[in-house]
């Protein structure tokens, strides 16, 4: 259903963006609209560059710390994904995309967007998995958290020969 409506939503978004630009051009003039669009591109490029630089510095620090400890680098949370999306939306010509980009940049609304997206992803993952939370609860673990060692036996395939089987040719 979503795949069928997505092109229609994008077309409606584009028509609404053009209509709003025409309204603003009638009220403030074409030069003002051009200034808004150019300012959005410049601000968006700055935001993306800054967020990319922060991500690169975070990665460099993580790699240096991991190299000093002799371990693999750990992924840090709180990435710059929404900040970069906000910069990209600022660069897209239009007033609605600029407003959406600013919402991605403003910290309180960015936190709300991040929480809503996480809930939606969890809901989608639960819908894709018919067993939902039962799969997470049915892990092969003992109550003390240790992994239960075992062997998977599939009835639809013959058992594989074991290495310590005396009937195997040597």
Which pLDDT tens digit goes with each residue over 62-109? 888 877 766 555 555 556 788 899 999 999 999 999 999 999 999 899
Reference 52, options 20, 19, 79; nearest CA is 79
Task: Determine if the pTM surpasses 0.75.
Answer: no
């Amino acid at each position: 259903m979503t795949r069928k409506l997505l092109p229609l939503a994008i077309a409606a978004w584009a028509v609404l963006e053009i209509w709003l630009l025409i309204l603003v051009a009638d009220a403030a003039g074409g030069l003002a609209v051009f200034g808004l669009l150019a300012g959005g591109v410049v601000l968006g490029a700055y935001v993306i560059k800054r967020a990319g630089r922060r991500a690169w510095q975070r990665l460099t620090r993580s790699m240096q710390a991991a190299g000093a400890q002799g371990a693999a680098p750990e992924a840090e949370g709180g990435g710059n994904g929404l900040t970069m999306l906000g910069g990209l939306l600022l660069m897209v010509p239009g007033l609605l995309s600029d407003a959406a980009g600013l919402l991605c940049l403003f910290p309180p609304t960015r936190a709300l967007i991040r929480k809503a997206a996480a809930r939606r992803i969890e809901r989608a993952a639960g819908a894709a998995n018919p067993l939902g939370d039962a799969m997470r609860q049915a892990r092969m673990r003992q109550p003390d958290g240790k992994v239960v060692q075992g062997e998977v036996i599939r009835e639809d395939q013959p058992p594989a020969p074991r290495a310590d089987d005396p009937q195997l040719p040597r």
